Structure 1
Amino acid sequence: MRFPVISVLLAGALMAAFGDIRTRQTNIKCVTRDPSYAKALVCRLNVLGRGIIGANVHVKLLKLPVRKVSINFSIFQKLSGYHPFLFNVTADLCHYMKHPNPLNVFYYFYGAMLPFINVNHTCPINHDVILKDFVLDDQMFAKVPLPKGSYMFEIKIISEGVWRGTIYSYLDINVDDNPRIKSG
């Protein structure tokens, strides 16, 4: 358990050496595997202001209550196609909500979404899942080692032991930077 903490801290120190981090969400897609269980009513990015993009997801759960939920969270880097990169973590959301663990990398990502999502309580879940105007915090990536490039976050939702759907979130980190151009 000590290795993930050390790797996150070391990676954070490496990112501090890279300098200022700027992120931009570029796309979001929601795929439901079982339309009788859940429907994605909203899955889009909205421009909230100049250079501020917010993600909005509204998933209508059709079979309530949901008592067991696991989240598989993976990061892929775009090279020649998307390739696995750095994290592939599965967390039991119901257990995590009762016992949050800051030593788990999922803690940082869920903590960033917490002010924007209505799943902020322990199981069972008896309502739709809504993520509203989620804006990536550039400072979040000071703790997580993602060098310049394009990335895909793949979030698989497993409920009652069955894979129910996937959310694909695409983002760029410092892609528009050009070291030869200085703002003056």
Structure 2
Amino acid sequence: MYIKTYLRRSILIILYLTIEAHCRFEFTNVNCTAYGKDIIEFEYCYLKSINRTYKYLSGKAKLIEIPFANFSVNLVMWKRFNGYRPFLYNTTVNGCKFLENPKSNIVAKFIYDSFVPYCNINHSCPFMNDLVLDKLPVEFLNHRVTKILPLPEGDYLFEFRWIHFKNVFANVKIYFNLS
């Protein structure tokens, strides 16, 4: 009787410890490229590591074409499997319509909510000033991709293709790791 109880408790503890494995989000690289120099230019786009525990992502895009409206964003998620392969999401949203009604696309809303507290893209079109992402911390995203929408461990790439009149004018690639 005692041995059965001991075995059941041991199995429950092992299952609990297995389920409670913790993932850790970490930026590995960021790359911002402007193809349409008559529309947008990136002033800066970088990762900054203050110490071992505090890292953040910052970027600033200067709009050349003002007022800026009528754009789409293609969101693609890649996972590294012997090279980067498409994983889970590949969706395109009309930027202005999405900003008017963020609940129209649940994938885009999750991604938008992942950076909107740290940027000035929080109003509807048209945009009249520069687009700024200021100090998006690793801890904020760690909570979102490990607790809210858990992803499996691995290397990932999140690509944002900015489209204006069916031409890609900017590309932002965010590389990260879950371990």
**Amino acid paired to 2:170:** G
Identity %: 25
Contact 1:66 1:159 survives alignment (8 Å):
no
Deviations 1:117-149 (A, max 9, x none): 111000001111111111242121133342111
* Higher Rg: 2
Paired residues in the alignment total 159
1:139 partner letter: H
Within a 5 Å distance, the mapping from 1:8-157 to structure 2 comes to: 17=19, 19-101=21-103, 104-136=106-138, 137-141=141-145, 142-157=147-162
Say what the alpha-carbon RMSD is for the aligned residues: 1.9
Amino acid at match of 1:162: N
Q: Which runs of 5+ in 1 are unaligned?
A: 1-16, 175-184
Partner SS for 1:55: strand
Are residues 1:170 and 2:175 paired? yes
Report which of the two has the higher share of helix. Answer: 2
Secondary structure (helix, strand or coil) at the match of 2:106 reads coil
The letter of the residue matching 2:168 is W
Following superposition, the deviation at residue 30 of structure 1 comes to 0.5
- Report the CA distance shift for 1:111/1:120 in structure 2 as closer, same or farther (over 3 A): same
Matches of 1:46 and 1:102 in 2, distance apart?
33
Distance 1:32 1:166 in 2: 6
TM-score under structure 2 length normalisation = 0.82
Matched residues in 1 for 2:123 and 2:112: separation?
A: 12
The equivalent of 2:4 in structure 1 is: none
**Structure 2: tracts of 5 or more residues without a match:** 1-18
How far the C-alpha of 1:18 sits from its partner, in A, is 6.7
